[in-house]
Chain A
Amino acid sequence: MSRVLGYLFVLIFILSLNFALPRFLPGDPLTALVGEQDLIISPEFRQELKQRYGLDQPLAHQFGQYLVRLLSCDLGYSFYHQAPVSAVIGPPLRWTALLCGASFLVSTILGIWLGVELAVRRSRPWTAAVVGVCLVLASLPGFLLGMALLLGFSLKLGWFPFFGALDLVPQVSGSATWGSGILRHLALPALTLVLAELPGVALLVRGSLLKVLQAPFVLAARALGLTETRIKYRYQARNALLPLITRLGLRFGLLWAGAVPVEVVFAYPGAGQLLFQALLKRDYPLIQGLLLVGILAVLAGNALAEWGYRLADPRVRSRTWY
Chain B
Amino acid sequence: MQNLRDSGSLGAYFRRARRYPGAFFGIVLLTAILILALAGPGLYPYNPWDYVGKPLEPPSLAHPLGTNDVGQDLLSELIYGTRTSVGIGLAVGLLGVLLSLSLSLTCVLRGGLWDFAVMRLVDSWLTIPPLLLVLLIVAFVPPRVPVLILALTLFSWAGSTRILRSQGLEIKQELYIEAALALGASAPYLARRHFLPGLYPLIILNFLIQTRRAILLESSLAFLGLADPRHKSWGMMMQYGMKFMALGHYWLWWLLPPALALGLTLVSLALIGFGLESRFEPTLRS
Which residues of A does B touch, CB under 8 Å? 2-3, 5-7, 9-10, 14, 17-18, 21-22, 24-25, 32, 118, 122, 127-128, 131-132, 135-136, 138-141, 143-144, 147-148, 150-151, 155, 207, 210-211, 249-250, 253-254, 256-258, 260-261, 264-265, 275-276, 279-280, 284, 287-288, 291, 294-295, 298-299, 302-303
Which residues of B does A touch, CB under 8 Å? 22, 120-121, 123-133, 135-137, 139-141, 212, 216, 219-220, 223-226, 238, 242, 245-246, 251, 255, 259, 262-263, 266-267, 269-271, 274, 283-284, 286
Residues of B within 8 A of A118 (CB): 286
Q: List 26 A-B contacts (CB under 8 A).
A: A2-B120, A3-B123, A9-B124, A10-B127, A17-B136, A17-B137, A21-B140, A24-B141, A127-B286, A135-B270, A140-B266, A141-B220, A144-B259, A144-B262, A144-B263, A253-B129, A256-B129, A257-B130, A260-B220, A264-B223, A276-B224, A295-B128, A295-B133, A298-B127, A298-B128, A298-B129
Whether B262 lies near A141 (C-beta < 8 A) is yes
- Give the distance to chain B from A21, nearest Cβ to Cβ, in Å: 4
Residues of B within 8 A of A279 (CB): 135, 139, 224-226
CB-CB nearest in chain B for A280:
B225
CB-CB nearest in chain B for A210:
B283
Contacts A21-B136, A135-B271, A147-B242 known; A211 to B127 CB distance under 8 Å? Answer: no
Contacts A141-B262, A143-B220, A147-B259 known; A21 to B137 CB distance under 8 Å? Answer: yes
- Chain A interface SS verdict (over half): helix
Contacts A21-B136, A279-B139, A302-B127 known; A135 to B274 CB distance under 8 Å? Answer: yes
- A249 to B128 Cα, complex, angstroms: 11
Whether B286 lies near A299 (C-beta < 8 A) is no
Counting chain A CB atoms within 10 Å of each CB, the highest count among B126, B127, B139, B266 belongs to B127
Whether B286 lies near A122 (C-beta < 8 A) is yes
Whether B126 lies near A260 (C-beta < 8 A) is no
- A264 to B239 Cα, complex, angstroms: 10
- A249 to B133 Cα, complex, angstroms: 17
Whether B132 lies near A291 (C-beta < 8 A) is yes
- A17 to B245 Cα, complex, angstroms: 38
Whether A10 lies near B216 (C-beta < 8 A) is no
Residues of A within 8 A of B225 (CB): 276, 279-280
Whether A139 lies near B223 (C-beta < 8 A) is no
- A65 to B48 Cα, complex, angstroms: 49
Contacts A24-B141, A279-B139, A279-B226 known; A254 to B220 CB distance under 8 Å? Answer: no
Residues of B within 8 A of A17 (CB): 133, 136-137
- A8 to B262 Cα, complex, angstroms: 37
- A38 to B149 Cα, complex, angstroms: 33
Whether B270 lies near A264 (C-beta < 8 A) is no
Whether A7 lies near B127 (C-beta < 8 A) is yes
Counting chain A CB atoms within 10 Å of each CB, the highest count among B22, B133, B286 belongs to B286
- Give the distance to chain A from B75, nearest Cβ to Cβ, in Å: 20
